[in-house]
């Protein structure tokens, strides 16, 4: 056994995963399509040692409580890999994100992809890309899409071995950019994992499923044909489809709620701005995950214009401060043996 470090990108879904037909195995109802985000990454090192009595998880230099939900989830994930390697030793896991968690950038995606790749390498398991994707999925569904490079499709499958992600186009296939605007760093009230459970209760879930195949094919085709207009329109409608489900899936947390609203007023302000920018000739589309963060999708040459336009809106309210990250399509998870932190 050795110390291994892996770096993995988060990914942004254009056709989303929302609802699981098997919660334990994290098998989704539908295929999803995403791209790896170049500036939203997690770096994780794993060091197994026979001297440890329990797994130790350190996030951004701070040791997590043994009973914290994250530590338990990480430990459970390590158990899956330990079982294959027939290894009993516990591990020290150190992990850092280049972006805030729980705001609508999937930190569990990059987190579990990096953890899987680092732990599998430390245990010298020699897993294939498909196997790494399957293991990552068991940690967090969207993590399976952070394994292959570039534009990726997660084939839903119907069993553990048939549900994994594969590349549909390499990162340099299409020079689109994603201007990610983090409008709030307050953690969301309802996790994605809970959102998946609640989705089927929405009266609109069934109709989403009836047309999902058509939308999936349109998004894939638009990527392969580099048809920006078709792509942007589909992606924007898909984001709203997910949020329509979330807003109509009742749940109980400190009382009854008719649905989950992941948006803040700033999210809405940007959505409206996108419509105005488009009508004035700047072609940009938005997508949103389970959080207030707005991802603005544009052609590479428009990155700077979009960033400036966002800063202009930000100034509408004095002292308002948004974090902006420019993401370009990126490679998937990788081992980085020489890096230690
Ligand atoms: C809205 O992968 O975070 O980002 O499998 O329960 O860990 P778990 O869920 P997660 O869900 C991501 C949901 C989403 C859409 C997407 O990435 O496809």
What is the mean pLDDT of each successive set of 10 residues along the chain, which is 341 residues long?
A: 93 98 98 97 96 95 92 97 97 91 74 98 97 98 98 98 98 98 86 93 97 98 98 98 97 92 96 98 97 97 98 96 96 80 47
User: Would you state the pLDDT for residue 341?
Assistant: 47
The secondary structure of residue 304, as a DSSP letter, is H
pTM (2 d.p.): 0.96
Say if residues 183 and 322 touch (Cβ distance below 8 Å).
yes
Say if residues 290 and 195 touch (Cβ distance below 8 Å).
yes
101, 290, 293, best to mutate for ligand 1 pocket (most atoms within 8 Å of CB): 290
Ligand 1 pocket, residues with Cβ under 6 angstroms: 13, 16-18, 26, 32, 106, 108-109, 140-142, 192-193, 196, 289-290
The alpha carbon of 305 and the centre of ligand 1 are apart by a number of angstroms equal to 30
The alpha carbon of 136 and the centre of ligand 1 are apart by a number of angstroms equal to 12
The alpha carbon of 19 and the centre of ligand 1 are apart by a number of angstroms equal to 9
Residue owning tokens 């084939």: 155
List residues bridging with 48 in a β-sheet.
91
Distance CA 8, CA 108 (A): 11
User: Would you state the pLDDT for residue 160?
Assistant: 98
Rounded alpha-carbon distances, angstroms, from residue 181 to 36, 42, 184, 188, 229: 16, 18, 9, 16, 21
106, 260, 294, best to mutate for ligand 1 pocket (most atoms within 8 Å of CB): 106
Residue owning tokens 């949103």: 288
Distance CA 39, CA 180 (A): 10
Residue of minimum CA distance from atom 4 in ligand 1: 289
Residue owning tokens 């254009």: 14
Torsion of CA 275, 280, 282, 286, to 10 degrees: 0
Say if residues 11 and 151 touch (Cβ distance below 8 Å).
no
The alpha carbon of 316 and the centre of ligand 1 are apart by a number of angstroms equal to 32
Classify burial at 281, counting beta carbons within 10 Å of its beta carbon; exposed 0-12, middle 13-18, buried 19 or more.
exposed
The Cβ of residue 255 has, within 10 Å, a number of other Cβ atoms equal to: 5
27, 110, 192, best to mutate for ligand 1 pocket (most atoms within 8 Å of CB): 192
**Left (φ > 0), alpha (ψ -120 to 50) or beta: where does 61 sit?**
left
Instruction: Tell me which H or E stretch contains 24.
Output: none
Classify burial at 160, counting beta carbons within 10 Å of its beta carbon; exposed 0-12, middle 13-18, buried 19 or more.
middle
The alpha carbon of 200 and the centre of ligand 1 are apart by a number of angstroms equal to 15
The alpha carbon of 192 and the centre of ligand 1 are apart by a number of angstroms equal to 6
User: Would you state the pLDDT for residue 187?
Assistant: 74
Say if residues 206 and 254 touch (Cβ distance below 8 Å).
no
User: Would you state the pLDDT for residue 338?
Assistant: 61
Rounded alpha-carbon distances, angstroms, from residue 88 to 73, 93, 127, 301: 17, 15, 19, 52
b/e per residue, 62-97, with b = 16+ CB within 10 A? eebeeeeeebebbbebbeebbeebebebbbbbbbbb
Instruction: Tell me which H or E stretch contains 262.
Output: none
In the chain, the N- to C-terminal Cα span, in Å, equals 18
User: Would you state the pLDDT for residue 297?
Assistant: 98
């Amino acid at each position: 056994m050795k110390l291994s470090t892996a770096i993995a990108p988060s990914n942004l879904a254009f056709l989303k995963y929302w609802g699981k037909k098997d919660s334990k195995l994290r098998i989704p109802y539908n295929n999803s399509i995403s791209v790896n985000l170049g500036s939203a990454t997690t770096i994780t090192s794993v060091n197994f040692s026979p001297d440890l009595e329990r797994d130790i998880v350190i996030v951004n230099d701070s040791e997590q409580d043994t009973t914290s939900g994250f530590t338990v989830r990480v430990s459970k994930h390590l158990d899956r890999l330990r079982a294959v390697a027939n290894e009993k030793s516990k591990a020290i896991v150190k992990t850092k994100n280049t972006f805030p968690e729980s705001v609508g950038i999937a930190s569990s995606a990059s987190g579990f992809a990096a953890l899987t790749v680092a732990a599998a390498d430390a245990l010298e398991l020699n897993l294939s890309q498909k196997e790494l994707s399957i293991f990552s999925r068991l940690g967090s569904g969207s993590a399976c899409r952070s394994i292959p490079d570039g534009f990726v499709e997660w084939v839903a499958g119907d069993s553990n071995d048939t549900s994994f992600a594969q590349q549909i186009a390499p990162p340099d296939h299409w020079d689109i950019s994603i201007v990610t605007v983090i409008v709030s760093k307050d953690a969301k009230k309802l996790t994605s994992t809970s959102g998946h459970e609640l989705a089927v209760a929405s009266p609109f879930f069934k109709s989403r499923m009836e047309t999902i195949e058509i939308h999936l094919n349109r998004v894939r085709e638009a990527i392969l044909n580099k048809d920006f207009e078709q792509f942007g329109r589909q992606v924007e409608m898909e984001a709203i489809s997910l949020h329509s489900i979330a807003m109509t899936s009742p749940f109980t947390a400190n009382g009854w709620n008719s649905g989950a609203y992941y948006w803040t007023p700033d999210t809405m302000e940007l959505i409206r701005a996108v419509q105005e920018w488009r009508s004035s000739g700047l072609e940009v589309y938005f997508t949103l995950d389970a959080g207030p963060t707005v991802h603005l999708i544009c052609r590479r040459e428009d990155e700077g214009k979009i960033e400036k336009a966002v800063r202009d809106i930000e100034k509408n309210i004095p002292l308002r401060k948004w974090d902006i990250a420019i993401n370009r399509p990126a490679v998937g998870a990788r081992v980085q043996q020489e890096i230690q932190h």
